[in-house]
Structure 1
Amino acid sequence: MEIDTENLLGRFLRARRELLRPEDLGLPAGARRRVAGLRREEVARLAGVSTDYYVRLEQGRECHPSAQVVDALARALELEDDAAAHMHRLARPSSARRHRPARRGQVSPHLLRMMAAWPHTPAVVLDHCLTVLAANSLGEALFDGHTYSGDLVRLVFLDPDARDFYPDWDRVAANAVAGLRAAVDTEYDDPRLIEVVGELSVRSETFRRLWARHDIRRKTHETKRFHHPLVGELALHYESLTVNSAPGQQLVVYQAAPSSRSEEALSLLGSLTAASDAATDAAAEPVAEPAPDPVAEPAPDPVAEPVADRVRDGDPRTR
């Protein structure tokens, strides 16, 4: 499946227009309203542009509105900051291509050592398609035990126990898709993205619906609930940090509130992980072979010795 990259701005405008309810903006809903969300003329009036100009924007006959018009449309459509910035980029696409991450990004060894030094803090490194590139022991334990533990988008939409693992699954799913769109920004010809979106669109109706909304929301910080199979309920706050030395990578660090039930559960998970790692290391150590017993001198033969003595003394009985 290829992602349609024609008229990106127009399709974004239409998707966002259809999400708004007239009554939320003080407009009459109207019994004979035949379209979802706002009408084109309503968006045009709210943005202070002509209906004809707005129609041309949606149809792709006008592709480069001014920054002032984009700002007005963002206000009319009640876009959040990330979505508004995305619309500006659609209206003024850069001629210079961004550095596209490799299919499987390499994580800096310095970053890996830093993460390993946080035994009580789960941490993972994600690529632009939210695939786990690296994790410390506790980060790996947090997502362990699932079919797609190493791929957070596929985990949400394809894993059979995702709804149990994420008690707030609907919110997690919406944020995952919005974060995926934000991570790739306007690079919709990226092979990794085409692969992920194609598979999930075929296998998950919910993903198809959420992808069509064109929500754009960067992964920054949030408190997320987990139901871990080993330690039960966890409410963890995460911070997502960009890795400046590796474009497209983000470091996500999780933490429980001090003195909370989640902190106790996270500590227990850390103990279980440490014990498991220790057992694995012990099993991997080679077993030392026992030292061979020293070769014992043969015991003297009480019969042979007298005979030998007689031979040595020239006794005629030995001839």
Structure 2
Amino acid sequence: MKDEESDNQLGSYLRARRELISPAQAGLPPGGNRRVPGLRREEVALLAGISPDYYLRLERGRDKNPSPQVLESLARVLNLDDVERTYLLGLAAARPRTPRRKRPEHVPARVYQLLAHLQIPAFVEGRAFDVLASNPMAVALSPRLRPGENRLLSLLLDPEEQAFHQDWTKATADFIATLRTTIGDDTGNPRFVELVGELALSSQRFRTLWARHDVRNLDGGTTTVHHPVVGELRLHRDKLPIDDVILVVYYPDKDNDSDEKLQLLAALSHTEPTDTAHNRPADTPHPKTP
């Protein structure tokens, strides 16, 4: 995360969203000789009912406390959905700027017991997509779900993980937008700084999507993956908050092709040596968490 972006989250977000809205989307004639992508600052100001000078101060970080009414008008002009609107309001909300002490992310002991009993792929992730714990079925589904891996790093940098996802393009967009939502104004968190810095240096895909400032929530859904042994699997995904971490489970519809393949994968995994990395002591923090 660049210093200027960290210091002016609100302005960076407004500028990025402004550049993604076409004149036609805003109800304006396209015109000619447009030298900037998207809307001009004065067009946003006009449509939002504020002065161009005031909007300029917002983008440049000279005014960081706009009223809720101004933000609502900007959200309307920029065609923000509910998640994006909430994110915008959160960036402008007054917050103490003193450094916040972060607790290490711990997996509760009872969650290790739950993982051991689940017969479907299940794992625990932290706020930065670090895998903190997983059961054997999760590792059988993807070796990148071992504790110590980072799901976003794997998704962007590991060719096997890229081949694993049927719609890798959508998956990367969803993950990066979710990371942006999770970070919010917590730009000084050491783990976030480390992860964003590593990805910015290593992945053009990340740099492109990060610059868009997309935000969304990555909760439940259905995905299709290509397993190298059992083939295509269509799985539902649910993410369940437990204390400060997230339990993620993947499961198929009952008695369909993916269900049979997942049962085959379970049988095959039982014939291989068991990896004990998922049986970490409950009071041991993940090495990558701040």
Q: TM-score range by the shorter chain?
A: 0.7 to 0.9
8 Å CA contact retained: 2:174, 2:216: yes
State the distance in 2 between where 1:235 and 1:3 align.
41
State the distance in 2 between where 1:93 and 1:233 align.
48
Trace 1:1-319 onto structure 2 (pairs within 5 A).
Answer: 3-4=3-4, 5-95=6-96, 100-102=102-104, 105-119=105-119, 121-144=120-143, 150-243=149-242, 245-246=243-244, 249-277=245-273
State the distance in 1 between where 2:16 and 2:157 align.
25
User: What secondary structure does 1:226 align onto?
Assistant: strand
Q: Compared with structure 1, are the counterparts of its residues 85 and 101 closer, same or farther at alpha carbon in structure 2 (3 Å cutoff)? A: farther
Runs of 4 or more consecutive aligned structure 1 residues displaced over 6 Å after TM superposition? 145-149
Q: Compared with structure 1, are the counterparts of its residues 197 and 77 closer, same or farther at alpha carbon in structure 2 (3 Å cutoff)? A: same
Give the CA deviation at 1:270. Answer: 1.6
State the distance in 1 between where 2:15 and 2:256 align.
45
Q: Show CA shifts across 1:31-67 (max 9, x none).
A: 2111111111222233222222211111111111111
Q: Compared with structure 1, are the counterparts of its residues 44 and 260 closer, same or farther at alpha carbon in structure 2 (3 Å cutoff)? A: farther
Give the CA deviation at 1:233. Answer: 0.8
User: What secondary structure does 2:19 align onto?
Assistant: helix
Q: Compared with structure 1, are the counterparts of its residues 231 and 42 closer, same or farther at alpha carbon in structure 2 (3 Å cutoff)? A: same
Unaligned runs of 5+ in 2: 277-290
8 Å CA contact retained: 1:125, 1:251: yes
State the distance in 2 between where 1:148 and 1:155 align.
13
Unaligned runs of 5+ in 1: 282-319
User: What secondary structure does 1:187 align onto?
Assistant: coil
Q: Which amino acid letter does the alignment assign opposite residue 111 of structure 1? A: V
State the distance in 2 between where 1:98 and 1:122 align.
34
Aligned residues: 274
Q: Show CA shifts across 1:257-305 (max 9, x none).
A: 2333222222211221223257x89xxxxxxxxxxxxxxxxxxxxxxxx
TM-score (norm: length of structure 2) = 0.87
8 Å CA contact retained: 2:122, 2:247: yes
User: What secondary structure does 1:253 align onto?
Assistant: strand
State the distance in 2 between where 1:231 and 1:11 align.
45
Larger Rg: 1 or 2? 1
Q: Which amino acid letter does the alignment assign opposite residue 181 of structure 2? A: A
State the distance in 1 between where 2:100 and 2:262 align.
38
8 Å CA contact retained: 1:122, 1:136: yes
Q: Which amino acid letter does the alignment assign opposite residue 261 of structure 2? A: A
User: What secondary structure does 1:28 align onto?
Assistant: coil
User: What secondary structure does 2:159 align onto?
Assistant: coil
State the distance in 2 between where 1:117 and 1:72 align.
50
| Superposition CA RMSD, Å | 2.3
User: What secondary structure does 1:110 align onto?
Assistant: helix
TM-score (norm: length of structure 1) = 0.79
User: What secondary structure does 1:227 align onto?
Assistant: strand
Deviates more, 1:179-188 or 1:44-53: 44-53
State the distance in 2 between where 1:148 and 1:239 align.
19
Q: Which amino acid letter does the alignment assign opposite residue 111 of structure 2? A: L
Kindly indicate whether structure 1 or structure 2 has the higher relative contact order, using CA contacts under 8 Å at least 6 residues apart.
2
